[in-house]
Structure 1
Amino acid sequence: MAGRFFKKRGANGQIAGNNPATSPVYVGMADKQTKFVALVHALHGDLYRYSYWLTRDAQVAEDLVQETFLRAWKAIDTLQDDKAAKGWLITILRRENARRFERKQLELVDLDDFPQSHPDQLHSEQEMENEWLRRHIARLPAQYQEPLLLQVLGGFSGEEIADLLGLNKHTVMTRLFRARNQLKEALEQAKQTRGHGHG
């Protein structure tokens, strides 16, 4: 009778079935942690770049990425398809960014007041082009900025962007077309201005 109330001990003295290495809960947690660590390693850079474009502040961008990964960890079991991980994380990041504005109204900064790199500090023509592109993308209307950033920085297709933003694909493609046209026009104006400066 007493045998039913006491658990059987194995040769090592541990109660049978209580070995954490073989416990289904432990194995499940290890799988969950492995999956999460792989996500962090694979996608941290992409999320940070996107976050930085949204916030234009390195510290806020990193905080936003950390919040995103914290929420992702809590919901990792809902991610059924690893191929959808990037879009899933971008969606979480966008929601976290929106929450940032709900929690407190941040002071809006005029882009002209935003500190820009001085041309003498740029080390190459490529860096100057990247700086120019960064400034001009930041000046695009938000409805054009976000799809363009998702495409350029995130590598998402028009259909994936439509899903992420809750828009139809035609709207996304139109916004991408207009964003690129506005950048092209700004580039043409910059070339003309440089041409007149040398003439």
Structure 2
Amino acid sequence: MFSFGNKKSKASVLEDMANKQLRYDSLVRAYHGEIFRYAYWLIGDKQIAEDVVQEAFLRAWKSLDSLKDEKAAKSWLITILRRENARRFERKQFQYSDVEQETLEDSTSLDLESQLERNQIRRQIAKLPLEYREPLLLQVLGGYSGDEIAQMLDLNRNTVMTRLFRARNQLKEALENPTEFRGSQNG
């Protein structure tokens, strides 16, 4: 019969497992909301975003020992989420439609005009090409600097800054001239 050793090593293994579980639980509590919000903005579908976030946190659990700097946890999770989202496209080709995207319920009560404005902004951001949308969301939702975004996206900082500039300009133009922008998108 195979033996794992004495009681002290068993206790050490159990303690390590408990510590990993506590560390993981803390990570989920601290970042789940932000990671989901980013995923929803990136993907545009609540159910798919939930699935991708769940897969990302599963991968985070499996590789939790590789997270050495707790201060980097949020960007580490976003990197995992981005890779998980990319895997989604490797596995399956999706058919997209022009169906309105559902909005997340906010706990604050906004008047109708504010809700309409937010929905319009969300729709216009969702229409931005991914290369512009992704850095913009990392900056606006994640609060990351150009250098941090460049590192996460594995891009040159100048490229990130150019994409952020173009994203803001395209968004501004779309919001100021919604009919012109819509016509230019239809080709």
TM > 0.5 fold call = yes
Structure 1 stretch displaced more, 52-61 or 155-164: 52-61
Structure 2: 5+ residue stretches without partners: 1-5, 103-109, 181-187
Pairing 1:105–2:93 present = yes
Structure 1 match to 2:105: none
Q: Secondary structure at the match of 2:177?
A: helix
After TM superposition, where is structure 1 displaced by more than 6 Å over at least 4 residues in a row?
none
Partner of 1:138: 126
- Cα distance between partner residues in 2 of 1:92 and 1:106: 21
Counterpart AA for 2:25: V
User: Structure 1 CA distance, aligned partners of 2:80 and 2:21?
Assistant: 19
Partner letter of residue 138 of structure 1? A
Letter paired with 1:106:
F
Structure 1 residue aligned with 2:137: 149
**In the alignment, which of 153, 165, 179 is matched to residue 177 of structure 1?**
165
Find the counterpart in structure 2 of residue 17 from structure 1. 7
Helix, strand or coil at the partner of 1:91: helix
Read off the aligned partner of 2:89 and give its amino acid letter.
Answer: F
Between the aligned partners of 2:17 and 2:83, the Cα distance in structure 1 is 26
2:34 is aligned to 46
Q: Which amino acid aligns with 2:68?
A: Q
Q: 2: CA distance between counterparts of 1:75 and 1:19? A: 22
2:22 counterpart (12, 26, 34): 34
Q: 1:181 to 1:75 in 2, by over 3 A?
A: same
- In 1, Cα distance between the equivalents of 2:71 and 2:112? 37
TM-score when scaled to structure 1? 0.78
Q: 1:88: how far off?
A: 0.7
Secondary structure of 1:71's aligned partner: helix
TM-score, normalising length: structure 2? 0.82
Equivalent position amino acid for 2:7 in 1:
G
Q: Aligned residue for 1:11?
A: none
* Count of aligned pairs: 168
| Aligned sequence identity (%) | 61
